[in-house]
């Protein structure tokens, strides 16, 4: 990777794991010493993280680590649901090829196999689910063939708790978590069926409802810090959704 990409990845890690605290001002000189790189990749990384929403650019120059509220979490998840819902509706209304449909059906079938007759998921199962879930959501956007929706989704999911996988690990720590995974899988199946049957409004509704599972998970684990620690960037949130 280039120095800029390495610096971006490392800075993002420092923010998400809490080594750089919310409200902390980032100084280029200190970051040069910390990351052992020149100012050029640091400046580029800071600008990119500001675009992603993890940093806030100060009027007089420099950046602050952004602090988020419970409303920011809700808004970002609902916005993702709206955009994915629009993608699903467009795919249903415009129609998709048999090949594209078979690919996403195969993804859902693999998740079915993973979840089949399991009351508990192993670490390996969760890792596999993360990959397949990410693939499913990517394919939904691809099926829409909308550059605009894809571009907007790329921006919203850079927020640490807005991505489709943000709450998966935390979700796996809940008692009877398999029930939540089964509901999510029912949503996956329903969305594909609606797209195949050209039912745009149903596809949109299911995609938006699917996104809201993250909020239900968050409400369930709001009093369990050891579970919230598994949500990327949760240390940036000023208070917890109840």
Whether residue 98 is found in the same domain as residue 188: yes
Give the CATH number for residue 93.
Answer: 1.20.120.530
Token readout for 240 is 């917890």
| Exposure b/e, 154-172, CB count within 10 A at least 16 = b | eebbbbbbbbbbbbbbbbb
Q: Cα 239–177–16 angle (5° rounding)?
A: 40
CA count, 13 A, side-chain hemisphere, 237: 23
Q: Are residues 20 and 115 in the same domain?
A: no
Neighbours of 201 (CB within 10 A): 13
In whole angstroms, give the CA distance from residue 108 to residue 114: 10
pLDDT of 194: 98
Residue 25 to residue 15: CA distance in whole angstroms: 12
**Predicted pLDDT of residue 239:** 62
Query: What pLDDT was estimated at residue 242?
Result: 45
pLDDT tens-place string over residues 120-168: 788 899 999 999 999 999 999 999 999 999 999 998 988 878 899 988 8
What rounded mean pLDDT belongs to the chain?
90
- Helix (H) / strand (E) element for 43: namely helix 39-52
Task: Note the pTM of the prediction, 2 decimals.
Answer: 0.85
**Separation between Cα atoms, residue 179 and residue 162, nearest integer Å:** 22
What domain range includes position 60?
3-65
What CATH number has the domain bearing residue 53?
1.10.10.10
**Is residue 241 domain-resident?**
no
Ranges of the chain whose pLDDT falls below 50:
241-242
Query: Token pair of 3, please?
Result: 């120095």
Domain count, the chain: 2
């Amino acid at each position: 990777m280039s120095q800029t990409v390495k610096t971006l990845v490392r800075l993002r890690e420092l923010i998400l794991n809490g080594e750089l605290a919310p409200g902390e001002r980032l100084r280029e000189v200190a970051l040069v010493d910390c990351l052992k790189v020149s100012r050029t990749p640091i400046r580029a990384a800071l600008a990119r993280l500001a675009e992603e929403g993890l940093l806030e650019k100060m009027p007089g120059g420099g950046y602050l680590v952004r602090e988020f509220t419970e409303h920011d979490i809700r808004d970002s998840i609902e916005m993702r649901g709206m955009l994915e819902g629009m993608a699903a509706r467009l795919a249903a209304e415009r129609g998709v090829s048999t090949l594209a449909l078979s690919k996403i059906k195969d993804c859902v079938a693999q998740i079915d196999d993973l979840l089949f007759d399991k009351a508990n998921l192993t670490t390996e199962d969760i890792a596999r689910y993360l990959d397949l879930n990410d693939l499913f959501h990517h394919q939904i956007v691809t099926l829409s063939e909308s550059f605009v929706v894809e571009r907007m989704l790329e921006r919203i999911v850079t927020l640490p708790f807005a991505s489709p996988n943000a709450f998966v690990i935390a979700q796996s720590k809940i008692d009877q978590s398999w029930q939540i995974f089964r509901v999510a899988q029912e949503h996956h199946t329903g969305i594909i069926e609606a797209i195949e049957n050209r039912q745009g409004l149903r596809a949109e509704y299911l995609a938006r409802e699917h996104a809201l599972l993250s909020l239900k998970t968050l409400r369930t684990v709001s009093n369990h810090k050891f579970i919230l620690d598994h949500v990327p960037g949760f240390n940036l949130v000023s208070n917890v959704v109840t």
